[in-house]
């Protein structure tokens, strides 16, 4: 491993975690404001930075639509009393927090956030050549022709990794509920265990069809194949949603249930069991549980965008520019293509974050029996049927070859 | 004896098959909420940049912005009435402070130098952040010394209403109705 490799790894890790953390943090703001707009309210707008002036008598610029409430929240969480009940199991109580937060962040490691980048080529456009010729030469000599995938880890078992790590998240809820020595927390932990294990099965089986079709477990390869496949003489991009439309809805439902938010917030249900498994956590410990929940919204959006909506792919955009099926070609430099792919990925992620919050503020909570019925009697059989039909179709397609 | 009652639920609507799958209904709800979201969002942006007069959301940003639907006859401004010679009518009998349900008035009586019987208020302050505009002080006053005038006082475009210390109006403010900010 050379110095260049280490630098590349650090840069990729920093980029992905910067993205994930900031998306998760902004989700608190988006949730406040979006729920307000959906319910004909204004939403949080009082926190302000005193050095920003007023505008037109309305403190819109000063409060900036309530975005500073995030900072106020963080300061509040960090300065509150970190109360821990005496009867808790201290080791497990603190360990549960790690299980809740760390796996959530680790899931993002296999998601590519933009197309594979050739750092040797990225500054090789006339603008930079005339402005900073030394830097262009330096990048060329350092990176050469290497193609670097923009994700933390390019694993060939990426999908299995996602399931393994999200499965660890159950421990967070269960251990937190058990170690708190509180009836409500224990109830929440039990419910979380039942719900998350139930929904992990349809979540996994619904993706089997995708694995069958793309023939790989590597997330990088799945995204690449989605960008290269086209149907209907090149007019229809072969994204996951096109080849597995049914699996998308199953996966979306199961993923929202995994996130333990309304309409699947049985483990937390405020009106029934206070805050569920994290009832006894206070200050920033509780804040970390909340943060991991919001980060998980972003992660689910990333997984859905990657597996079903082509990840960073834009229809008809290839490495050298747009190649439209009706014969028009628009060549673009490498850096522009890279930025477009990243923008496309972010737009897809933001759309699915928005969609999850839309669902959370529209649907009422399921009852416990309804939840289990949906998981075991509806989602699981449907995902198995989906898998069987996909297998049969794939078999006949293979025979036709 | 056991009584058997056959209850037929006539009021419960039978769900059709499509309603029982919930999917069309969920899609309907999501569409409804999406419409609300985008109508409100676009409307607020248009209002902010000045392309639209009214806001799609009825809530007003209170201390900076006055509700648009205040009646012009709203009586929300206490006035201490003066005699023609400029002296106060108030005799500091404390009737208004006694009846005030919000206990927002502070009156300190002082003996007048003009006549032995008459008193006048040395301090007469109303905490506007606590006043509920019930008008009972006006009803209670035997000298017609305090009245409610037609205006909305609990609004200052400079946003000074954000600070509750600036909302205590004292005697001279209520006499001349030119509130001055006492603290900074």
Q: What is the dihedral of CA A19, A22, A25, A30, to 10 degrees?
A: -90
CA distance A35 to A261: 14
CA distance A252 to A174: 23
CA distance B166 to A396: 80
DSSP assigned state of A216: -
- Give pairs for B114-122: CB < 8 Å, separation 24+: B114/B87, B118/B91, B119/B91, B119/B92, B119/B93, B120/B87, B120/B88, B120/B90, B120/B91, B120/B92, B121/B88, B121/B90, B121/B92, B121/B171
- Largest Cα–Cα distance of chain B, in whole Å? 90
With tokens 């049914």, the residue in question is: A246
Q: Do A38 and B33 touch (CB under 8 A)?
A: yes
What are the phi and psi torsion angles at B110 (to 5°)? Answer: -145, 145
DSSP helix/strand/coil, A238: coil
DSSP helix/strand/coil, A322: strand
Which are the contacts of B175, defined by CB distance < 8 A and separation ≥ 6?
B79, B80, B82, B88
Helix, strand, coil share of chain B (percent; to 5):
30, 20, 50
Which are the contacts of B174, defined by CB distance < 8 A and separation ≥ 6?
B78, B79, B80, B124, B126, B146
Q: Do B33 and A362 touch (CB under 8 A)?
A: yes
> Would you put residue B26 in left (φ > 0), alpha (ψ -120 to 50) or beta?
alpha
Instruction: Report the candidate in A253, A250, A266 with the shortest Cα–Cα distance to residue A194.
Output: A266
Q: Is 90 exceeded by the pLDDT of residue A389?
A: yes
Q: Do A42 and B64 touch (CB under 8 A)?
A: no
Minimal Cβ distance to A358: which of B30, B40, B56 = B30
pLDDT digits (tens, 9 = 90+) for A63-81: 778 888 888 888 999 999 8
Q: Is 70 exceeded by the pLDDT of residue B124?
A: yes
Band (A61; pLDDT cuts 50, 70, 90): low
Could you tell me if A47 lies within 8 Å of chain B, comparing CB atoms?
Answer: no
Quick one: tokens of A380? 């699981």
Position A278 scores a pLDDT of: 87
Could you tell me if B41 lies within 8 Å of chain A, comparing CB atoms?
Answer: yes
CA distance A166 to A357: 20
Minimal Cβ distance to A57: which of B40, B58, B157 = B157
pLDDT digits (tens, 9 = 90+) for A292-325: 889 999 999 999 999 999 888 888 888 788 888 8
Q: Do B40 and A57 touch (CB under 8 A)?
A: no
DSSP helix/strand/coil, B105: strand
Neighbouring-strand partners of residue A318 = A321
CA distance B151 to B154: 9
CA distance B172 to A302: 64
Give ipTM to 2 decimals: 0.84
B54 min Cα distance to partner chain A (Å)? 14
Mean pLDDT over all residues of chain A?
86
CA distance A242 to A252: 15
Q: Which residues of B touch A38 (CB under 8 A)?
A: 33, 36-37, 40
Which are the contacts of B91, defined by CB distance < 8 A and separation ≥ 6?
B118, B119, B120, B143, B145
Could you tell me if A39 lies within 8 Å of chain B, comparing CB atoms?
Answer: yes
Band (B128; pLDDT cuts 50, 70, 90): confident
Q: Do A37 and B44 touch (CB under 8 A)?
A: yes
Neighbouring-strand partners of residue B109 = B121
Contact A295, A105 (CB under 8 A): yes
Contact B118, B91 (CB under 8 A): yes
Quick one: tokens of A67? 């975005």
Quick one: tokens of B109? 């009586």
Band (A166; pLDDT cuts 50, 70, 90): confident
Mean pLDDT (whole number) for A243-249: 89
pLDDT digits (tens, 9 = 90+) for B80-101: 888 888 778 888 888 999 999 9
Degrees to nearest 5, angle at CA B181 with B179 and B184? 175
With tokens 């019925």, the residue in question is: A373
CA distance B144 to B167: 24
């Amino acid at each position: 491993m050379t110095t260049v490799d280490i630098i590349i790894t650090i840069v990729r890790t920093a980029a992905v975690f910067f993205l994930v953390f900031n998306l998760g943090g902004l989700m608190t703001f988006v949730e406040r404001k979006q729920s307000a707009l959906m319910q004909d309210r204004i939403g949080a707008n009082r926190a302000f930075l005193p050095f920003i002036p007023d505008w037109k008598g309305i403190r819109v610029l000063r409060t900036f639509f309530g975005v500073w409430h995030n900072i106020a929240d963080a300061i509040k969480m960090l300065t509150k009393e970190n109360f821990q009940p005496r009867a808790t199991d201290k080791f497990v109580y603190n360990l549960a927090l790690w299980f809740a937060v760390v796996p959530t962040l680790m899931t993002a490691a296999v998601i590519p956030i933009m197309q594979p980048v050739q750092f040797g080529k990225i500054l090789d456009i006339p603008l930079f050549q005339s402005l900073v010729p030394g830097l262009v030469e330096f990048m060329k000599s350092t990176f050469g022709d290497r193609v670097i995938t923009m994700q933390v880890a390019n694993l060939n078992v990426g999908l299995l990794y996602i399931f393994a790590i999200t499965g660890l998240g159950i421990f967070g809820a269960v251990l937190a509920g058990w170690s708190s020595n509180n009836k409500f927390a224990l109830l929440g932990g039990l419910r979380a265990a039942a719900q998350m294990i139930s929904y992990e099965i349809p979540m996994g089986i619904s993706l089997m069809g995708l694995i069958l079709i793309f023939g790989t477990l590597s997330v990088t390869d799945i995204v690449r194949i989605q960008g290269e496949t086209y149907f209907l003489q090149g007019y229809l991009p072969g994204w996951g949603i096109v080849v597995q439309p049914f699996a998308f809805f199953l996966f979306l439902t199961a993923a929202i249930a995994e996130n333990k938010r309304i309409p699947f917030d049985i483990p937390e249900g405020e009106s029934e069991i206070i805050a569920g498994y994290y009832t006894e956590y206070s200050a920033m410990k509780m804040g970390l549980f909340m943060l991991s929940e919001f980060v998980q919204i972003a992660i689910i959006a990333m997984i859905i965008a990657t597996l079903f909506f082509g990840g960073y792919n834009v229809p008809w955009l290839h490495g050298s520019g747009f190649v439209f099926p009706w014969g028009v070609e628009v060549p673009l430099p490498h850096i522009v293509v890279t930025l477009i792919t990243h923008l496309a990925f972010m737009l897809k992620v933001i759309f699915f974050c928005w969609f999850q919050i839309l669902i959370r503020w529209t649907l009422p909570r399921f009852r416990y029996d309804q939840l289990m019925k949906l998981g075991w009697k509806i989602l699981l059989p449907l995902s198995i049927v989906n898998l069987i039909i996909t297998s049969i179709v794939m078999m006949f397609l293979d025979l036709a070859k | 004896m056991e009584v058997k009652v056959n209850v037929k639920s006539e009021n419960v609507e039978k769900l059709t098959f499509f309603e029982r799958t919930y999917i069309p209904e969920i899609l309907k709800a999501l569409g409804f909420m999406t419409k609300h979201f985008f109508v409100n969002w676009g409307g607020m942006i248009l209002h902010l940049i000045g392309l639209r007069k009214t806001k799609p959301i009825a809530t007003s940003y209170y201390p900076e912005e006055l509700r648009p639907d205040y009646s012009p006859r709203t009586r929300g401004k206490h006035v201490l009435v003066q005699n023609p010679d400029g002296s106060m009518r108030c005799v500091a009998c404390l009737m208004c402070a006694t009846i005030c349900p919000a206990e927002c008035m502070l009156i300190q009586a002082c003996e007048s130098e003009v006549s032995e019987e008459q008193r006048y208020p040395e301090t007469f302050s109303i905490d506007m952040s606590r006043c509920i505009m019930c008008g009972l002080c006006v009803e209670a006053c035997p000298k017609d010394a305090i009245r409610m005038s037609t205006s909305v006082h609990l609004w200052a475009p400079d946003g000074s209403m954000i600070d509750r210390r600036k909302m205590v109006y004292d005697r001279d403010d209520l006499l001349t109705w030119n509130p001055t900010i006492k603290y900074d």
